[in-house]
Structure 1
Amino acid sequence: MKTVSQSVPRAPGALPLLGHLWPLWRDPLAFVTGLRATGELVRVDIGTMPIYFVTSAELANDVMVRRARSFEKGRLYDRMRPALGSGLATAPTEVHRRHRRLMQPMFHHAKVAQYAETLTEHAQGLADSLEPGRTVPLLEVTTEYSIGTLMATMFSISTDAGRHAAEVVQRRMPVMFKYMLLRPLMPKLLDRLPIPANRAFDAANAEISAVVYEVISAARAQGDHDEPNLLSMLLAARDADTGEALTDEEVHNELMTLFVAGVDTVAAILSWAFHEIATHPEVEERLLEEIDTVVGGPSSARAVSFEDIPKLEYTRQVIDETMRLHAVTMLMRRTVEPVEIGGATVPAGAEFGISLYGIHRDPGVFEDPTRFDPDRWLPERRRDLPREAYLLFGAGARKCIGDTVALTQLVITLATVLRTRRLRPVPGKAPAEAVSAMPQPVGLSMTVEARSS
């Protein structure tokens, strides 16, 4: 086996001292997608620091599943930890294992069914707020909706502390999203400089963090942890081996992580889904026919229920295809021991990058990969895909714990809104993909139309 320096090709376009920072800054999504042409394992230099990108689903599975014990969370999560704490997304392996064991019951099928009532109520509120004839900035609308829905499932917003927290998070979370992915690419020494990005991020993070602690304190004082929300369950959770509860700091860290993971994903996917549906009339026609058959047409008074979700098969295909095409920009891992992977021996301490966005556009796996085609996810076609190619929520022990809740919300929201509304693209204003945890459709405005009975 060759050493890493002998066998891993370097991505083209590196500059002295800067490495690949310029092409990453100029067009990061095109850059990570183009790495596959260089190889399955490709060296990318961030300044003088090498990051080894795996560009195939097979090697991504090696890192996240088959050889997961040889990896820990990498630089991206180290740089996010000061802001979010050690929640599930950023925690070291031992903390992650303990917290995931404590939190897994909160995402059981029966609990998701309970959350569905709240999700349906908020989805109907979103549909009602989309007034026919208006042109709306869709990402702003879906972000506000995602924050409000997540707040309602996380803790009671009927209390003074809950209402204050909801107002702060609605106002400040978009600021955190704007600057969050810039930090891992910046040299650490710049973190403390009073540049505008740092000031804006730190102020937003501090304000959100403070109100989360307020809500936790109020919930502990109230003492009733039987309410069907995530905060109550976090406070009531006990380790099966030791009987220990989570500290206030640990509860805070998990709530902050859920904010970031839940809001960014749902808002981006909903916005892209409405855009893709509107620009593919044949998809829209099939989708509306399914929704009308399962739930009822525009004149039906029945709300979408949790029991409807398995019947909304094409709706789920549309969501899966949206998530494939507009997938997570970057995950990172770090080797904790020497690893043989992709034909190379990589030493301990090496940083690995995994772009699900790039992997899901691999023409060797997905035919015509940039085309929006929900039928890719028909059972008979899905069977032809390698098992490891389905990475919409990651894989292995670090797979997103809230995947079922997210999919439930996405299906309920699409079915609820499209039952009575159609969203039409504004001519000449195609959205641009901006880098965030998931690519954001910047400049996406859509005009609301009412569906006739």
Structure 2
Amino acid sequence: MTASPKSGDPAQREVPAVPGRLPLLGHTAALLRHRLAFTSDLRSHGAVVRVYLGRLPLHLVTTAELAHQVLTVDTDKFDKGIFVDKLRRAFGNGLVSTNGDFYRRQRRMVQPAFHRRPLTRYSETMTALADELANSWRDGRTVSLDRVMQDLAISIVGRTLFSADFGSSVSAGIRAHTPTLIRLGVVRALSPAVLERLPIPANRRFDRAIAHVHRVVDDVVDSARGDRDDLLSALLNARDEDTGAAMDRQQVRDEVVTLLTAGTETTGIALAWLFHELARNPSVERRVHAEVDEVLDGRAATVADVGRLPYLVRVITEVLRAYPLWLMLRRTNTEVELGGVRLPAGTEVGFSPHALHHDPRYHDDPDRFDPDRWLPERAAAVPKGAYVPFAGGLHHCPGHAFAHLEIAIVAATLAARWRLVPVPGRPVRPRVIGLLYPDHLPMTTRSR
């Protein structure tokens, strides 16, 4: 006679399904309609819960400990998940969409382009373009700050990638279609597979955006010789440490598309939210202005200044806590025990960085914008997995230092000369796609 399984056996433990599953759609409608509220409420159902994207089960973890296990402790047991499957047409075999040995090879080849010495070179472009923007503003002018910051981020990444080849036509193509690619790509990734094949306007716009971005990048990559001091040349000249092989042009194209998309929306949106929060928090704004006045005295910031701006760095850290990625998904490549549950290979797993960043178990008064929560003695109390703006482990964003440096140089340069004031009667709300976008962000420039 076979013994009955123990009730505590992970293989027998039932993962609670979140209420509200609909036939065919699963939880997709609720997930897309109530995005932040839906993922924030998951912790009330357990440490590991099950939701359905259409008919596909997705196991979401709701604690910092389990998120850290997924990202870092068991990093080799997880690959990219369903997001990547649905976005591979856009990113090809770039770092954001590959796994396993190929991913490791590509990361080794790409990572040197973001080491200290090249970052110092790239920072000169950041300083020059931030100074150019500061010089272009006039007192009392109203600007669409979210669009301005995204355009600036595209210019910075474009110039560091393409050097002199980032002309007006290349810039216009990237500016016009990269946001569409990212925003509609997230919606597609969360939608049932059947919707991808329908000739609906969103699918047509997504396909057009992919084609345009690829065409622009192909033209530049095909004409490049690898003899410039830019990111594209670094990619063309990179060699695999084991075989000595270079990337082919198709692979370079995929990495460039990845850098253009992943490297523009995140920093542009973070900068927009940063100035929104300064305007909402006068005491924070005063401290930032006092710090940049002491260090910069009205000039543009450089890489050498960032270490002398500790309060601004804490402000940036707090912005990335308050406005992170909404969802992060992975897929098991072997059996994994997660929160007392054994998950077989091929299981879709994820968590919400936004929910973790706003979880009162880990962050006191999480809805308050408080840069001083990142003072060393307070930051030390934040558990691993409770702050993950750039993922972690094997798939930690290789461009995180680039992003931090860019945000710091741009924010300091603009704050040294300008205050940005909200337009009365125009409340700003987050619009959740993959990132949290302002639904609009008009602000008036005031000379300091």
The residue number in structure 2 matching 1:132 is 139
Structure 1 position 5, deviation (Å): 7.2
Match status 1:415 vs 2:420? no
Tell whether 2:193 aligns with 1:188: yes
Query: Residue 372 of structure 1: which of 361, 369, 374 is its match?
Result: 369
Question: In 2, are the aligned partners of 1:86 and 1:250 still within 8 Å (CA)?
Answer: yes
2:14 is matched with which residue? 7
| Counterpart position of 1:401 | 398
Q: 1:317 aligns with which of 311, 314, 319?
A: 314
| Alignment partner of 2:323 out of 323, 326, 347 | 326
Aligned pair partner of 1:166 in 167, 171, 174 = 171
Letter in 2 for 1:19: G
* Residue 246 (structure 1) aligned with residue 247 (structure 2): yes
Tell me whether 1:278 sits opposite 2:282 in the alignment: no
Task: Trace 1:45-124 onto structure 2 (pairs within 5 A).
Answer: 45-124=52-131
Give the secondary-structure state (helix, strand or coil) at the position aligned to 1:437. Answer: coil
> Could you list the per-position Cα deviations for residues 10-29 of structure 1 after superposition, in whole angstroms to 9, with x for gaps in the alignment?
22332333321222121212
Give the equivalent residue in structure 1 for 2:3.
none
Paired with 1:193 and 1:217, the residues of 2 have a C-alpha distance of: 33
Cα-to-partner distance string for 1:246-278 (whole Å, 9 max, x where unaligned): 011110110111111111101110111110110
Check 1:4–1:287 CA distance in 2 against 1; reply closer, same or farther (3 A cut).
Answer: farther
SS of the residue aligned with 2:430? Answer: strand
Find the aligned partners of 1:256 and 1:26 in 2 and give their Cα distance: 29
- Which amino acid is 2:287 matched to? R
Letter in 2 for 1:420: R
Distance 1:435 1:53 in 2: 18
SS at match of 1:423: strand
Contact conserved, 1:324 with 1:392, CA < 8 A, in 2? yes
Contact 2:76 2:394 in 1 (8 A): no
Pick closer, same or farther for the CA change 1:4–1:440 going to 2, 3 Å. farther
User: Are 1:327 and 1:392, in contact at CA under 8 Å, matched by a contact in 2?
Assistant: yes
Alignment of 1:345-384 (within 5 A): 345-384=342-381
C-alpha distance in 1, partners of 2:411/2:40?
29
Q: Do the aligned residues in 2 keep the contact of 1:53 with 1:353 (CA within 8 Å)? A: yes
- Deviation, 1:353, is 1.5
Q: Which amino acid aligns with 1:341?
A: L
Q: Secondary structure at the match of 1:118?
A: helix
**1:210: which partner in 2?**
215
Matched letter for residue 58 of structure 1: E
- Is the 1:356–1:392 contact (alpha carbons within 8 Å) kept by the matching residues of 2? yes
Asked if the contact 1:264–1:437 (Cα under 8 Å) also holds between the matched residues in 2, the reply is no
Q: Which runs of 4+ in 1 moved over 6 A?
A: none
Deviations for 1:35-73, whole angstroms, at most 9, x for unmatched residues?
122222111112221101111111011111111222111
- Using the TM superposition, give the Cα deviation of residue 3 of structure 1 relative to its aligned residue in structure 2, in angstroms: 5.1
Q: Is the 8 A contact 1:213 1:252 kept in 2?
A: yes
Give the aligned partner of residue 18 of structure 1: 25
Could you tell me how far apart the structure 2 residues matched to 1:285 and 1:417 are?
14
Confirm or deny: 8 A CA contact 1:63 1:71 kept in the other structure: yes
My pick for the range that moved more, 105-114 or 423-432, is 423-432
Counterparts of 1:208 and 1:250, CA distance in 2? 15
Is 1:387 the equivalent of 2:384? yes
**Deviation per residue, 1:90-137 (Å, 9 max, x gap):** 112222100110111111111111111100001112222332212221
Q: 1:29 to 1:129 in 2, by over 3 A?
A: farther
In the alignment, is residue 177 of structure 1 matched against residue 182 of structure 2? yes
Alpha-carbon shift at residue 162 of structure 1 (Å): 4.7
Indicate if the aligned counterparts of 1:52 and 1:353 stay in contact, CA closer than 8 A.
yes
Letter in 2 for 1:443: H
- Could you say if the C-alpha distance between residues 366 and 436 of structure 1 is closer, same or farther in structure 2, counting changes exceeding 3 Å? same
Q: Residue 430 in 1 paired to residue 444 in 2? A: no
Asked if the contact 1:162–1:215 (Cα under 8 Å) also holds between the matched residues in 2, the reply is no
CA drift of 1:34 comes to 1.5
Per the TM alignment, residue 193 of structure 1 is displaced from its structure 2 partner at its CA by 2.2
Q: Secondary structure at the match of 1:390?
A: coil
Worse-superposed segment, 171-180 or 390-399? 171-180
How far residue 178 of structure 1 moved from its aligned partner, in angstroms, is 3.0
Matched, 1:36 2:16: no
TM-score, normalised by the number of residues in structure 1: 0.94
Q: Distance in 1 between matches of 2:426 and 2:16?
A: 39
Partners in 1 of 2:385 and 2:307 — Cα distance? 23
- Counterpart in the other structure of 1:264: 265
Cα distance 1:178–1:385, how it changes in 2: closer, same or farther (>3 A)? closer
* Cα contact 1:328–1:356 (8 A) shared by 2: yes
> 1:442 is matched with which residue?
439
| CA deviation after TM superposition for structure 1 residue 319, in Å | 0.6
SS where residue 181 of structure 1 aligns?
helix
Of stretches 324-333 and 16-25 in structure 1, the one that deviates more from structure 2 is 16-25
> Where does structure 1 lack aligned partners over 5 or more consecutive residues?
none
Contact 2:28 2:191 in 1 (8 A): no
Q: Once structures 1 and 2 are overlaid, which stretch shifts more, 335-344 or 398-407?
A: 335-344
> In the aligned structure 2, how far is the partner of 1:311 from the partner of 1:401?
24
In structure 2, the CA distance between the partners of 1:262 and 1:214, relative to structure 1 (3 Å rule), is same
State the distance in 2 between where 1:434 and 1:325 align. 14
Following the alignment from structure 1 to structure 2, what is the Cα–Cα distance between the partners of residues 305 and 18?
50
Q: Distance in 2 between matches of 1:40 and 1:371?
A: 25
